[in-house]
Amino acid sequence: MKAILKNVLPVCAGTVLGSLSLAASAFDILPDRAPAPADNPTTPAKVSLGKQLYFDQRLSVNGTVSCNSCHSVMANGTDNRPVSVGVFDKRGGRSAPTVWNAAFLSVQFWDGRAASLEDQAKGPILAGVEMGMPSEAAVVERLKQIPGYVSQFQAVFGGEDALTYDNVARAIAAFERTLITPNAAVDRFLKGDKSALSASAQRGMKLVEKIGCTSCHTGPNYAGPAGLPVGQGFFQKFPVYPSKYDKQYDLKSDKGRYEVTHDDADKHLWRVPTWRNVALTAPYFHNGSVQTLDEAVRVMAKSQLDVSLSDAEVADIVAFLNGLSGEFPEITLPRLPETPNVTLLKK
């Protein structure tokens, strides 16, 4: 363990890990339900409203992009692209993280700039390279022209002014809290079904603990320690050890959390991404520069732990990571509320 700690502890500098202790076991089972903040309890009507908003392209300026366009819940919660395509064919600089199990992340966005799903949901709708709406007021004004939304916001949130941008975000977040993929092979293995993982996957499971991957990829979402409160970020430096990969995959141009805080201590710090469904969410890293999971495993071992893995070790770890692909619940398509006799989209 000393070798591991040598590798890991230095990169905890600059994190907000503080006094939290790492879980006793590196491996955890995914809960069936995600905790909700006190001011936004999860209710069926709110989830239904949030699902409609999540799939509604009218939340983008020209009616072409919904949350689901880049975070497809029909697939792995991403678009499998290096970076997503927003309105007017615009591109951002970072790869779309999966929405599945995002409720269990300590903070949202690659740089952790949103403390909650509610905060996160407010960003892309207004981002010029994503959904491109000009202002919160413009979003509210458009939704107020859709009778089926007006009535649902009133029923779900009540009060005189139920259709607000904050409530749009609350509804979307409530829907996202239902996007959980339980019963992955690793979960079944941890519950006692020793046949759930192949021998190779079980070797990989031991290996990721032995070389130190699970110092960060731990907890129920394999993205930080268990019990880390939502909103309290778990950040790590990437890359730690210089390697050929820095240039090959352009790993250092984007300075991560520093781009938000402009604090030198935050340079190249990133929120630790989940391992849940990681086999399904290629390409990899903040810039989507690595196309296969095998290569992502090689890059991480070298960049974070200064370990060069053999092909057999990579195969074992990849087999283990495939064991974190969960069961995707069946979801009905929402019916998006209409604007009879008229369109809101004029060009």
Query: Where do contacts with its own copies occur on this chain (CB under 8 A)?
Result: 55, 57-58, 62-64, 69, 72-76, 79-82, 85, 88-89, 279-280, 282-283, 291-294, 318, 322, 325, 328, 330-336, 338-347
**Pairing, β 269-271 against β 235-237:** antiparallel
What tokens were used for 315?
A: 């195969």
Q: Which residues are catalytic?
A: 130
Q: Give the residue with the Cβ less far from its own copies, 135 or 292.
A: 292
How far is the C-alpha of 166 from the C-alpha of 299, rounded, in Å? Answer: 40
CB 286 within 8 A of CB 254: yes
CA distance 18 to 229: 12
Rounded distance between C-alpha atoms, residue 345 and residue 119, angstroms: 27
Burial 132-147 (b: 16+ CB within 10 A, else e): bbeebeebbebbeebe
Least separation in angstroms between residue 179's CB and its own copies is 11
Shortest reach from residue 4's CB to its own copies, in Å: 26
272/249 Cα distance (integer angstroms): 18
Nearer to its own copies (CB atom), residue 71 or residue 257: 71
Q: From the CB of 247, what's the least distance to its own copies, in Å? A: 19
Closest distance of CB 113 from its own copies, Å: 25
Contact 116, 229 (CB under 8 A): no
- What CA–CA distance (Å, rounded) separates 247 from 231? 33
